[in-house]
Structure 1
Amino acid sequence: MTPPTTAGPTLIGSVRRAMRLLEAVAEDPSRSTAKHLARRTDIPIGTTYHLLRTLTHDGYLHRVGGRYLISAATARLGGAVPEQTSARDLQAWLDSLRDETGAAIYYAWYEEGEVRMVAQSSGPRAPACEEWADFRRTAHAHAIGQCLLSQLDPEARRDHLARHPVEPLTPYTVPDAEALLRKLARLRRGQPVQEREEYAPGTVCAAIPISVGTVPAALALSLPMPRADLLDPLSHHLRRQAETAFTSKAFTVRV
């Protein structure tokens, strides 16, 4: 008996649509919401949601806020992800930056809708900012969180702030969500994000956005208030160091 032919084209069509979605996500991860992907690929929105859920469930995509991003496993299929940097190498690099700047250094990324502090380097001459309020819950107040939120699309930013509302931590904390969104909208691409005593009294911070793969990441430093005059020059030094390291692929997002 000849097998039915209806299933073949249907399955092939689904595979083709899934591949188009993966290609669209890889081409423009900054706007990879379901609605944008549906418009970009001309796939009906219901089908788009179904395929995105399947691709996410099977590990080909992961969802960050309102966006869908290529997973490391999918990127490796195309040889897009170089060998992972070891945690030891990353820590050694952060330690060298700490010694160069005399500031505490931090490395973080935004994953599955949350701020994740990956590594940090500090010492007696470069004390770390004390995490007295959960970094994940207070992204609106510290430079790392603001830097990571600046790399999200407007929908993903509002989604984050809906889950973690703006709250005053110090007299200098941004007063509300709209004020924060205006600040983020004014930032130029690649510009260091600075905050002065918004998260912790007596501490100033700067963070550098890092474009590596599809995961928003940030490299940051903090200084005690008496050294606040060094925030500008050190943040630009940190930016140059980050550009050199990540452009040369000395480091990757995953460690």
Structure 2
Amino acid sequence: MRLLETVAGHEHGAPAKQLARETGLALPTTYHLLRTLVHEGYLRRDRGLFFLGEAAERLSSSGAQQKRRSTVTDTLARWRDVVGVPVYYAVYRDGEIGVVGVADTPGNPAVEEWADFRETGHAHALGQCLLAQLDERSRRDHLDRYPVRPVTPYTVRDSHSLLRRLERSQDTDLVTERQEYALGTVCAAIPLTIGTMAASVAISLPAHQADRLAPAVQQLRSEMRRLLGSLALSISI
């Protein structure tokens, strides 16, 4: 590992003797380890110089992805603890709605995904918020693939009504839905657009606590302004 770290510190490569000197390894040991690492793909040799290989780069990529996921998890947990309600984070990527992270507690559990979130975007706040951020063509393409259909007695009834609602939400930067996806639950979602990717952060509450929804949204907005940078770095997950 020390040898790999030393090679990584030389962008333009380094010879075996230099690597042995910098790592404090005996030269024969260094040669043996270098040959093994080249054979396994962790290093590559070019004109007597050693560079990181594809296997090492894959390790680096996986580690970076894990760090981004950890950042999302930590950020959502922070918002959950401050606001005191379950917090959700979703993105719209490659034509699909994807829930990236959820932070809840046993005392304040998240809404159970009893109907596929991807297919019922018209019924829940996260999906509606993501659809509102799309251009008209992408939005209609999504609804052609996943038509509006009743999920509960309170679900929006048709695509025309949904599109009008999405247009109104663009003016307020807020989507709320009451028992449209899950009976006994109210939700609110805030758009989060970074670069070209649409994303959304949402919260949920039991329907009998609906009066807490607006204050919780304001509190969430405040927290988002403080920690948006850390989440923005992880939006590409």
How high is the TM-score relative to the length of structure 1? 0.64
Question: Who wins on radius of gyration, i.e. which is larger?
Answer: 2
**Corresponding residue for residue 115 of structure 1:** 97
TM-aligned CA distance change 1:138 to 1:217, over 3 Å: same
Match of 1:206 among 188, 201, 223: 188
The Cα shift of 1:190 comes to 5.9
Structure 1 residues 53-107: Cα deviation after superposition (integer angstroms, max 9, x where no partner): xxxxxxxxxxxxxxxxxxxxxxxxxxxxxx8762112211111111112211111
Contact 1:192/1:236 (8 A) holds in 2: no
CA distance in 2, matches of 1:107, 1:250: 10
Give 1:108's aligned amino acid: A
Is 1:167 the equivalent of 2:149?
A: yes
The RMSD of aligned alpha carbons is 1.7
Match of 1:218 among 200, 225, 234: 200
Match of 2:120 among 120, 138, 154: 138
Deviation beyond 4 Å, 4+ runs, structure 1:
none
> Which SS does the other structure have where 1:195 is aligned?
strand
Give 1:251's aligned amino acid: A
The Cα shift of 1:249 comes to 5.3
Give 1:101's aligned amino acid: V
> Which SS does the other structure have where 2:110 is aligned?
coil
- Name structure 1 gaps, 5 residues minimum: 1-82
Structure 1 residues 211-233: Cα deviation after superposition (integer angstroms, max 9, x where no partner): 21211000111111121111111
Match of 2:174 among 176, 192, 195: 192
> Which SS does the other structure have where 1:110 is aligned?
strand
**Corresponding residue for residue 73 of structure 2:** 91
Is 1:157 the equivalent of 2:139?
A: yes
Work out the number of aligned pairs and report it: 172
CA distance in 1, matches of 2:92, 2:198: 5
Contact 2:189/2:203 (8 A) holds in 1: yes
Which shows bigger deviation, 144-153 or 100-109?
100-109
How high is the TM-score relative to the length of structure 2? 0.69
> Which SS does the other structure have where 2:126 is aligned?
helix
> Which SS does the other structure have where 2:189 is aligned?
strand
CA distance in 2, matches of 1:164, 1:108: 17
Give 1:114's aligned amino acid: E
CA distance in 2, matches of 1:98, 1:224: 15
Match of 2:83 among 84, 89, 101: 101
CA distance in 2, matches of 1:124, 1:237: 21
Give 2:144's aligned amino acid: A
> Which SS does the other structure have where 2:170 is aligned?
coil
Contact 1:91/1:121 (8 A) holds in 2: yes
> Which SS does the other structure have where 1:188 is aligned?
helix
Contact 2:86/2:108 (8 A) holds in 1: yes
**Corresponding residue for residue 179 of structure 1:** 161
Is 1:235 the equivalent of 2:217?
A: yes
The Cα shift of 1:204 comes to 0.6
Matches within 5 A, 1:242-253: 242-246=224-228, 248=229, 251-252=232-233, 253=235
Which shows bigger deviation, 172-181 or 218-227?
218-227
**Corresponding residue for residue 37 of structure 1:** none
- Name structure 2 gaps, 5 residues minimum: 1-63
> Which SS does the other structure have where 1:86 is aligned?
helix
